[in-house]
Amino acid sequence: MTPEFNLIHQFFTRPTTQTDLSIGDDAALVSVANGMQLAISTDMLVAGTHFFADCAPYQLGWKSLAVNISDMAAMGAQPKWATLAIALPNIDTHWLSQFSDGFFACASQHNVDLIGGDTTRGPLTISVQIMGEVPISKAIKRSGAQPNDDIWVSGELGNAALGLAYLQNTLAHNLLNADDLALCLQALHAPSPRSALGLSLRGIATSCIDISDGLLADLGHILNASNCGATLGLAAIPCINFLKSSLENPTIQDCILAGGDDYELCFTAPKSARESLTKISAQLNCPLTLIGEICIGTDLNVTYQNKKVNVSKKGFDHFS
């Protein structure tokens, strides 16, 4: 076997459970169940842009799949298959084995088969494509929000941004207690995609997006696609007490409103869905919080103590 093939065999080939032909041929083969559509999405992680080049490889492997599963969740699709294209500056077997363990830990938790990919030498870059199934015409798109719909988010926002602020030394180091710090670093390095929630939102949510670039930026995509505006209450947004206790601080506001990488779901639903959503939240043990309302127009207004909040950052944009 050539070194490249050996590497693929050693680190990226594991048994599959829902694939007709997996790694080893020119293409993989899968069967999409009757009545289902294939949902497809790709996310690329580049060293120095999306992660620190020296970050822990296990967490990087986990995150590179988790962010893709999050896209499936936001569509209401069941993730099933993934491909992995990876450029490596050199072959470091310890790094690769940790990376692959992290990737497959996330894959087995969400029942995703790794069915192919590409391996080349180059600056560390990871590109994962994910494929999943959703019943025909049941995918939750960005374009379905309606005036008067409630706006909901899962989990807590701002933790990943706070973890990043800590690592970049923009936050005084003694401010966060050890438990909060662990939570924030976990959110940043090993996010838990809301797969089960996404599936439960089929037929209930009118629109949905996962928060990867910040609440305002991502909710903004829903508003653009749906041709609507929104009002949000800053104090209603779920976040840890550390953030809650300084809501007037612009840096804290940025963490909550513009901090990326949380991979929570933001979705809209009619007011008649409140009871169902409360049940789903309890069943899945997944906090869901009502943070605002969709309105006519195109403005996105955030209020705090009856005043409009001027947001300094709108969220992450690679080309701004």
Binding segment for ligand ADP (CB under 6 A), chosen from 72-80, 111-119, 160-168, 254-262, is 111-119
Q: Tell me if residue 316 falls in helix, strand or coil.
A: coil
Contact with ligand ADP (CB under 6 A): which of 118, 248, 299, 317? 118
> Which one of Mg ion, ligand ADP, none is in contact with 25 (Cβ closer than 5 to 8 A by kind)?
ligand ADP
Shortest gap between Cβ of 190 and ligand ADP (angstroms)? Answer: 20
In the range 4-43, which residues lie near ligand ADP by CB under 6 A?
A: 8, 12, 23-26
Whose CA is closest to 81, among 24, 17, 151, 177?
Answer: 17
Shortest gap between Cβ of 16 and ligand ADP (angstroms)? Answer: 11
Q: Are 175 and 109 a contacting pair, CB within 8 Å?
A: no
Whose CA is closest to 259, among 303, 308, 216, 304?
Answer: 216
In the range 266-295, which residues lie near ligand ADP by CB under 6 A?
A: none
Q: Does 118 bind Mg ion (CB under 5 A)?
A: yes
State the Cα–Cα distance between residues 267 and 277, nearest whole angstrom: 11
What tokens were used for 134?
A: 């959703």
Residue whose CB is less far from ligand ADP, 72 or 86: 86
Residue whose CB is less far from ligand ADP, 39 or 88: 88
Q: Does 60 bind ligand ADP (CB under 6 A)?
A: no
Q: Which x/- pattern, by CB under 6 A, does the window 136-165 give for ligand ADP?
A: ------------------------------
Shortest gap between Cβ of 12 and ligand ADP (angstroms)? Answer: 4
Q: Does 104 bind ligand ADP (CB under 6 A)?
A: no
Q: Are 171 and 252 a contacting pair, CB within 8 Å?
A: no
State the Cα–Cα distance between residues 118 and 125, nearest whole angstrom: 12
Residue 218 burial by CB count (10 A; 0-12/13-18/19+): exposed, middle or buried? buried
Q: Are 157 and 256 a contacting pair, CB within 8 Å?
A: yes
* Amino acid sitting at position 104: F
Q: Which residues would be at the binding site for ligand ADP (CB under 6 A)?
A: 8, 12, 23-26, 84, 86, 114, 116-119
Q: Which residues would be at the binding site for Mg ion (CB under 5 A)?
A: 118
